[in-house]
Amino acid sequence: MRRVNVAIAGFGGVGRATANLLLSRRERYAQVYHADVRLVAVCGSRAGLRDPEGLQADQLTTLQEGLSGPDFIAASGADILIEAGPTDFRTGGPGLAYIHSALASGRDTIVISKGALVHSGKKLCALAQKSGAILKLSGAASAALPTVDLVEHSLKGCNVLEVEGILNATTNYLLDAMMTRGVGFDEALREAQQGGFAESDPRNDTEGWDTACKLLILANFGLGAELEMDDLIVDGIQSVTAERIQTWRSEGLVPKLVGSLVHSDGTFRASVGVKTYPLDDAFANVRGKDKAIRITSDAMGETLAIGSGKEPLATAAAALKDLEYILSARLAPAR
């Protein structure tokens, strides 16, 4: 049995859910990968916990002040970092320093927050390549909805020509509530906040930035594009009025906030904005906080995935899907 030490930086709802799910799956990791997976450290912005023998679920309720930061994680003996801090794509957010430090020292890294990947993606990839660390990011690229996995595995070898994605749960929920229940924008947003899937600053959702981050991550990490946020045309749903909703309804059209990517002659064009679909289009039937992606490739035509899941469990599970990828890449399967 090979020992694998994991640390989690960022200990809000998603970080905690990831810790608990990981601890509940230790038996699975032992059986499938012959790996003794231990959670050796967790930390938030100011406090943390460390135990070289592995933390237990009942220890995770009380963190100790002062135990935090990339050096704390480095000293924990972790082989793998899971980064689950808050997203800030304008600065890279607190995750950037953790991810940078882990990749520079060759530690395999699973990223959940989007900020560092959008802000410094190219640099982080170069660091990983240099040190030989594996960088995985399913949790940052729409989590329960497979996106990067689809292009990397299911469509391997195909030339992706076009991507359309309903990549943000909040805006899909809002538009659906306004269209089908006649709920106003502010009331629908309150519901999304109560549901726990809207960002703490919901303008990141409603103005299209969260969709733009996910689209950019898919393009750069999944398809080899080199887009910067300034290359994207980004519009949101903030100016959707009750009158427009009424017009769409009477025309039999369903509005969705969509991230679009067009790939031709090695060039990627990306944008985010409201698109409308006829009632018989699969996108028109993506309801509530579900997300969806439609990928058109040269050889496999149109591929469609629709996904959802209860948060924060779904995002935790996406990150632990990445953990299993790393376990299988690094360890021989159990016999």
Residue ranges binding ligand HSE (CB under 6 A): 168-170, 197-199, 205, 210
Give the nearer residue to ligand HSE in terms of CB position, either 118 or 127: 118
Q: Which CB, 39 or 174, lies closer to ligand HSE?
A: 174
Least Cβ distance, residue 301 to ligand HSE (angstroms):
27
For residue 48, what are the β-bridge partners? 43, 64
| Residue 42 to residues 48, 164, 197, 305, Cα–Cα distance (Å) | 5, 36, 23, 33
Least CB distance from residue 95 to ligand HSE, whole Å?
A: 14
Least distance from C-beta 222 to ligand HSE, angstroms? 17
Min. distance of Cβ 315 from ligand HSE in angstroms? 7
Minimum distance of ligand HSE from residue 252's CB (angstroms): 27
C-beta pairs of 253-257 under 8 Å, 24+ apart in sequence: 253/277, 253/278, 253/279, 254/179, 254/278, 254/279, 254/281, 254/283, 254/284, 255/175, 255/179, 256/166, 256/172, 256/175, 256/283, 256/284, 256/286, 257/166, 257/168, 257/171, 257/172, 257/175, 257/208, 257/211
15 or 48: whose CB is closer to ligand HSE?
15
**Structure-token match 């790939």, residue found:** 263
Least distance to ligand HSE, CB of residue 109, Å: 19
Question: Whose Cβ is closer to ligand HSE: residue 37's or residue 163's?
Answer: 163
> Of 149 and 210, which CB lies nearer to ligand HSE in the complex structure?
210
Residue 200 or 250 having the CB closest to ligand HSE? 200
Cβ proximity to ligand HSE: between 70 and 312 the closer is 312
- Which residue number, 51 or 191, has a Cβ lying nearer to ligand HSE? 191
Q: How far is the CB of 15 from ligand HSE (least distance, A)?
A: 14
Least distance to ligand HSE, CB of residue 13, Å? 11
Amino acid letter for position 167: L
Q: Between 106 and 195, name the residue whose CB sits nearer to ligand HSE.
A: 195
Q: What are the residues whose beta carbons fall under 8 Å from the beta carbon of 101, sequence distance 6 or more?
A: 70, 71, 73, 74
Extended strands (E) in the chain: 2-9, 35-43, 47-50, 64-65, 80-83, 108-111, 135-136, 160-166, 233-234, 253-264, 267-278, 291-297, 301-307
Count Cβ neighbours within 10 Å for each residue of 149-182 and write b for 16 or more, e otherwise.
Answer: bbbeeebeebebeebbbbbbbbbbbbbbbbbeee
Closest approach, Cβ 214 to ligand HSE, in A, equals 7
Q: Are 237 and 175 in contact (CB under 8 A)?
A: yes
The string of DSSP codes covering 139-190 is GGTTTTS-SHHIIIIITTT--EEEEEEE--HHHHHHHHIIIII---HHHHHH
